[in-house]
């Protein structure tokens, strides 16, 4: 099913990052990581299957692509690998921000992270980025996490941490992502709230938390965390890697919360990693230009098994001086704001973007 309400040319121009010129069908990347861009791969009928922000992408056990969006008509859209429609559901997650697909005893489940942003019924019709205004288009409430079957049936929810006495009522909880350990433990990051990492068991029961702000040991400080994943490249020492976006860094911790290391990525408001073989891929929502997160400046960073940056798709190529990564800028020629990312079995990339005129996911075919 690929019927759409869009003229392809107008859609490509609408979702292009620069001057209405789309990167569709162009070759991007460098070295061993070159891709052909297909901006039309995920295009569907926007009246039936609308998106707001393409926040998160994942792959299920049938190699289908699962997208999470904050559109109130459908929060989850599932694609076949050719980009055709498979299924959609969900109207109960107005701030849907992340989705993690896990397989338990042969059945797929999805954890949806709602970050608490909702469309304001008192919107003044103009304001879109005045986050503290009661008349802004989007305003904040408390977020939550839900476990569901991949067809949309609710299993359980995880609510505000004040209900288990680890947050006080004045502390906001607006989670941004989740990952699961092999034993089923869940790790939730609170990137729009109080920046803690909260560990639960497989049944959603609290174990511990760490992070936040103003720690005496600054290695435990986190800022606008976006993206968490388990690094199992060394099976003897699995590591949690967290995109501390406001610090332009990825921080690593043990599964029990001990600090391990910081990977600095200057110039990149970087999200957490997605692993494939020895490499990991991280979406970058903004380049940091002159100490500002510049608009329409997203790209994708790819790191090798030594956590060295090997290429930036849509950004300037990495440069190291005395083993220190130099600040990354961007060419503004591929993406707007990279937010969701996944890879299929053939190492093709699927990319979702925030604030890109309601665009559907793009496919980057590995060459």
Region 249-270: mean pLDDT is 98
- CATH number of the structural domain spanning residue 267: 2.120.10.30
Q: How many domains does the chain have?
A: 1
Mean pLDDT of 45-64: 97
pLDDT of residue 18: 76
* Any domain includes 173: yes
pLDDT band at 4 (very low <50, low <70, confident <90, very high): low
Confidence of residue 20 (pLDDT cuts 50, 70, 90): confident
| Residue range 106-119, pLDDT digits in tens | 999 999 999 999 99
- Average pLDDT for the chain: 96
Q: What is the pTM of this model?
A: 0.97
Residue at 344 is within a domain:
no
Confirm whether 230 is domain-assigned. yes
Per-residue pLDDT tens digits for 266-276: 999 999 999 99
Domain assignment of residue 245, yes or no: yes
In a domain, 357, yes or no: no
Between the CA atoms of 163, 164, 165 and 170, what dihedral angle is there, to the nearest 10 degrees?
-30
Query: Which residue range forms the structural domain that includes residue 139?
Result: 52-328
Q: Which of 25-29, 212-216, 329-333 is predicted least confidently?
A: 329-333
Structural domain includes residue 341 = no
> Is 9 a member of any domain?
no
Residue 64 pLDDT more than 80? Answer: yes
Q: Is residue 99 part of a domain?
A: yes
């Amino acid at each position: 099913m690929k019927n759409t309400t869009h003229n392809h040319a107008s859609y490509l121009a609408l979702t292009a990052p620069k001057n209405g010129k789309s990167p569709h069908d162009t070759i991007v990347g460098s070295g061993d990581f070159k891709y052909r861009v297909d901006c039309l791969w995920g295009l569907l009928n926007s009246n039936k299957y609308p998106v707001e922000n393409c926040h998160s992408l994942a792959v299920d056990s049938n190699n289908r692509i699962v997208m999470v969006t904050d559109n109130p008509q459908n929060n989850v859209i599932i694609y076949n690998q050719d980009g055709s429609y498979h299924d959609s559901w969900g109207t109960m997650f107005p701030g849907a921000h992340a989705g993690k697909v896990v397989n338990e005893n042969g059945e797929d489940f999805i954890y949806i992270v709602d970050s608490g942003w909702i469309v304001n019924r008192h919107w003044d019709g103009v304001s879109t980025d005045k986050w503290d205004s009661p008349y802004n288009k989007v305003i904040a409430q408390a977020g939550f996490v839900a476990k569901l079957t991949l067809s949309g049936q609710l299993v359980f929810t995880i609510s505000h941490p004040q209900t288990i006495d680890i947050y006080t009522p004045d502390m906001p909880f607006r989670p941004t992502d989740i990952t699961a350990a092999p034993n089923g433990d869940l790790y939730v990051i609170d990137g729009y709230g109080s920046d803690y990492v909260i560990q639960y068991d497989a049944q959603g029961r609290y174990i511990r938390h760490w992070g936040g702000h103003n720690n005496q040991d600054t290695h435990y400080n986190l800022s606008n965390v976006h993206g968490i994943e388990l690094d199992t490249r060394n099976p003897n020492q699995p590591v949690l890697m967290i995109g501390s976006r406001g610090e332009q860094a990825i921080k690593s911790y043990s599964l029990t919360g001990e600090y391990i290391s910081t990977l600095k990525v200057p110039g990149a408001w970087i999200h957490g990693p997605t692993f494939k073989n020895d490499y990991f891929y991280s979406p970058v929502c903004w380049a940091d230009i002159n100490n500002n997160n510049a608009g329409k400046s997203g790209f994708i960073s790819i790191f090798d098994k030594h956590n060295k940056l090997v290429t930036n798709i849509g950004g300037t190529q990495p440069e190291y001086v005395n083993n220190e990564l130099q600040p990354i800028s961007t060419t503004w020629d591929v993406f707007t704001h990279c937010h969701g990312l996944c890879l299929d079995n053939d190492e093709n990339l699927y990319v979702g973007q925030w604030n890109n005129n309601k665009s559907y996911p793009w496919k980057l075919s590995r060459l």
